[in-house]
Amino acid sequence: MPAVQETIDQVRQIDVDQYKYGFETTIEMDKAPKGLSEDIIRLISEKKNEPEWMLEWRLEAYRRWLTMDEPSWARVRYPKIDFNEIHYYAAPKGTTGPKSLDEVDPELLKVYEKLGIPLKEQEILAGVEKTKIAVDAVFDSVSVVTTFKEELKKAGVIFMSISEAMREHPDLVRKYLGTVVPQSDNFYATLNSAVFTDGSFVYVPKGVRCPMELSTYFRINERNTGQFERTLIIADEGAYVSYLEGCTAPQRDENQLHAAVVELIALDDAEIKYSTVQNWYPGDKHGKGGIYNFVTKRGDCRGKNSKISWTQVETGSAITWKYPSCILRGDGSRGEFYSIAVSNGHQQVDSGTKMIHLGKNTSSRIISKGIAAGVSDNTYRGQVSAHRKAENARNFTQCDSLLIGDKCGAHTVPYIEAKNSTAQFEHEATTSKISEDQLFYCLQRGIPEEQAIALIVNGFVKEVIQELPMEFAVEAQKLIGISLEGSVG
């Protein structure tokens, strides 16, 4: 064994989890006491300086939530969550909302720097060949900064934290919030409606093509804190926006809850492209710790010929429960779902999508690539339905699973329902293993086993990677390689 390899192996043995975002930052925090009650909700609302109607909306959701049960249909197992052991609000001291960059605590800026998230506009501009990306950085419960706001404003694009939007654009927020994912939608979405703390708000006006990629970067830092973010994106008639979301959390022994809601609304001829690279802490190799990720994401193609496209790369979290969906309401609208879900160690993934065809001549496309390694479980759960009036609905679903080793599981659970006889739905599914032949072939060319697996897996997911914006695609490929390290031998 060459010395270099030996060193690498030694380092690996020390850092079994290889989760490079696992660092913790000590920043003075302002925290609500543990537990959930109407008082806590009032406190959150007050901290955020919210209008009265918002508080009422939250309380209504909370009362509803008290009557609901946690869903149990997903193929995931975890101990019962004690919702009173969680802090529902945690913010770096002195931040009630985003400030201008020079006012932000330098310690916080360092965190994002360490994570590779560019927050300093000058620096971003200095890198000539890099494309501009506007970032909203959310740290535990609050947005700490949003970049390029001025430049976006010139184009008429509103991009700010949702708390800010509630104060500055109450009419827009009130008009759209909860219209795609209603307060009563499901257990976690209802909880989110009651306690959501921050998230991003985007409004792209009629006919405007957003001049840069928008992105939100979520970081859970505090112990025993839940992150409940809420994102609302509206593309008005003929508008276009591409939005990216990234997430990480420190390495911790206990599980942390993340229950987000994302609502997308595309009006006539509008298009929204939403990409996620989810890399929450997955837990250690014994299955200890990690984020419970219970997320409701839904897009409403409200206008004719509108289009919503979800692309997700899921590598983190101990448990993933997530089904980004499209309601194809407008005639001629189109929904897309491209997904890569990687599970290793003890991770459990139950993810997929719903394509609900309501309008005439609507179409949808689902490409799902699940990769399971270690002792993980990876389930694709998808629903495609055409309602009575959905003339000529079209769907194509391709769902491929790749197994690495023989202790993991991949499952495909498709629900297909057509109430209109003109619907044409196609479903293809495959399950395969990385073949010994492929692996040996790569090894024979001098490619070591882990790199060989990463190469083969990246080939397997290529169709989805191609859908990601350039910068994200490279990052995603690396991330998949890292997530699968230690998956063999």
Partner 1 sequence: MLEIKNLHARIAEDGTEIIRGLDLTVKAGEVAAIMGPNGSGKSTLSYILSGREDYEVTEGDILYNGESILELDPSERAAKGIFLAFQYPVEIPGVATMQFLKVAMNEQRKYRGEDELTTPEFMRRVKEAAAELKIAPEMLRRPLNVGFSGGEKKRAEILQMALLEPKLCVLDETDSGLDIDALKVVADGVNALRSPDRAVVVITHYQRLLDYIVPDTVHVLYKGQIVKSGDKTLAHELEAKGYADIIEAAA
Residues in touch with partner 1 (CB under 8 A): 2, 4, 435-438, 440-449, 451-452, 455-456, 458-463
Dist. CA 420–CA 422, nearest whole Å:
6
Min dist. Cβ of residue 438 to partner 1 (A): 5
| Burial category of 428 from C-beta neighbours within 10 Å (exposed 0-12, middle 13-18, buried 19 and up) | exposed
Evaluate whether 408 touches 375 at the Cβ level (below 8 Å): yes
Q: Cα-flanking dihedrals φ and ψ of residue 182, to 5°?
A: -65, 160
Q: Judged by CB, which is closer to partner 1: 461, or 468? A: 461
Half-sphere exposure of 140 (CA within 13 A, CB side): 26
Taking the complex as a whole, the smallest distance from the CB of residue 1 to partner 1 amounts, in Å, to 9
Question: Do the Cβ atoms of 294 and 188 come closer than 8 Å?
Answer: yes
- Pick between residue 2 and residue 79 the one whose CB is nearest to partner 1: 2
Would you give the distance in Å from CA 299 to the centre of its chain?
13
Q: Are 137 and 144 in contact (CB under 8 A)?
A: yes
What does the block give as tokens for 388?
A: 């009575």
Q: Can you tell me the distance from the alpha carbon of 460 to that of 42, in angstroms, rounded to the nearest whole number? A: 49
CA distances 108 to 27, 77, 351, Å, are 8, 35, 32
Q: Which is nearer to partner 1, 44 or 461 (CB)?
A: 461
Closest distance of CB 371 from partner 1, Å = 13
In angstroms, the CA 390 to CA 246 distance is 35
CB closer to partner 1 out of 103 and 463: 463
Closest among 267, 273, 211 to 472, alpha carbons compared: 273
Shortest Å distance, C-beta 376 to partner 1: 22
User: Rounded to the nearest whole angstrom, what is the least distance from the CB of residue 461 to partner 1 in the complex?
Assistant: 7
Shortest Cβ distance from residue 199 to partner 1 (Å)?
Answer: 35
For partner 1, which is the closer residue by CB, 202 or 340? 340
Which among 71, 46, 74, 70 is positioned nearest to 58, based on CA atoms? 46
Which residue's CB is nearer to partner 1, number 43 or number 447? 447
Q: How far is the CB of 367 from partner 1 (least distance, A)?
A: 12
> What's the min distance (Å) between Cβ of 436 and partner 1?
7
Alpha carbon distances (Å) from 54 to 48, 80, 179, 196, 197: 10, 30, 14, 11, 12
| Shorter beta-carbon distance to partner 1: residue 59 or 455 | 455
Of 100 and 432, nearer to partner 1 (C-beta) is: 432
